[in-house]
Amino acid sequence: MKRRTLDLLFSLGGLGLAVLLLVVGIVLTSNANFANTYVHDQLAAQHISFKPADKLSDEEKKSECLREYAGVPLTTGKQAECYANDFIGLHLKSIGDGKTYADLGEPQSQLRAQVAEAEKNDAANLADLQQQLAEVSGQRDTVFKGETLRGVLLTSYGFSEFGRKAEQAALAMYIGAALLFLLSVAGLVHAFRTPSSEAFATPEPARKPVTT
């Protein structure tokens, strides 16, 4: 095979692969922009802001991100992660001794049964049981709302991470496309500088010494 023909084949193949990487990079960039814009718009619509620095409690001040984002609106995935874990998560631990929505279901059901029984028997501790039930029900309702908001914010954070990964992958595609383009151009230049009659040189196999 002629050297020029081989150079042209490799160069044109490299250009084709460079175009493919460029297209993939553009698609990934489009997906990343969509993810970032979507997360920003959805979070901004909630009108959530971090507490100002001078209003943070001693426990909240231990969080580096709460200090960093103090007083600013919540609009990014990283901010959503911080608010969900370091703010909502912190305050949920102080409700019902850190019990979750599911954990509080059992004591709520038990108190409901005790209240119903006390009402039948007109028990003296009915008012106390009703107060306990109201307290547990209020805790469970608050925990449910907090866990729901926390889950939504963490979902937004996860979606934003997909966008960030897409940006990184797109950058890799662009770099690969640029390198292939430069190598292909160099190959084309070399092909046109090579005489059309020059053949691709292949190394001859080593000859075994002749023994007598």
Q: Tell me: the pLDDT tens digits for 45-71? A: 999 999 999 999 999 999 999 999 999
Token reading at 209: 């010494």
Which residue has 């608050």 as its token pair? 142
Q: Tell me: the pLDDT tens digits for 68-99? A: 999 999 999 999 999 999 999 999 988 878 88
In a domain, residue 133? The reply is yes
In a domain, residue 199? The reply is no
Residue 182 pLDDT exceeds 80: yes
DSSP SS3 for 49: strand
In a domain, residue 128? The reply is yes
Query: Other C-beta atoms within 10 Å of 116: how many?
Result: 10
**Which range of residues forms the domain containing residue 16?**
3-193
How many domains does the chain divide into? 1
- What is the value of pTM for the model shown? 0.75
In a domain, residue 201? The reply is no
Q: Where are the alpha helices (DSSP H) in 100-208?
A: 105-121, 126-193
Q: 190: number of CA atoms within 13 Å, CB side?
A: 16
Buried b (16+ CB within 10 A) or exposed e, 190-206: ebeebeeeeeeeeeeee
